[in-house]
Structure 1
Amino acid sequence: AEAMRLTKARTKREVVDQALRELVNGRKKPDIREFRGMNLIDPDYDYKKLRAGRSR
């Protein structure tokens, strides 16, 4: 009942289908630990400079 309320699913089957889709999608995402030591972040990247150019 709680899962149906949280997902706004109309049937138990919809809840199970959605749960399985989320499980599979979560397993497809790469493990962030695999990127350790790959130097993917630019050392000259300055987020403060980029934010200063934006107005809210």
Structure 2
Amino acid sequence: MAVNRPIGDSARRGAVKKRTQLENPLTKTSTTRDKKDGQFMAVKKSAVKYNGVRRKT
């Protein structure tokens, strides 16, 4: 049976709503964008996607 983790374990509950992520076709890495003004925020060094961030297609 599944059990919720203890409070204070730094685990995210739900999605990050103020950001979206998309894949850079040249480098195959994930990039986050601010949803309000559309500016790019961060780029991952590996090909792994961000957890809990909405994906833009």
TM-score range, shorter-chain basis?
under 0.3
What TM-score comes out, normalization by structure 2 length? 0.23
What TM-score comes out, normalization by structure 1 length? 0.23
More contact order relative to length (CA 8 Å, sep ≥ 6): 2
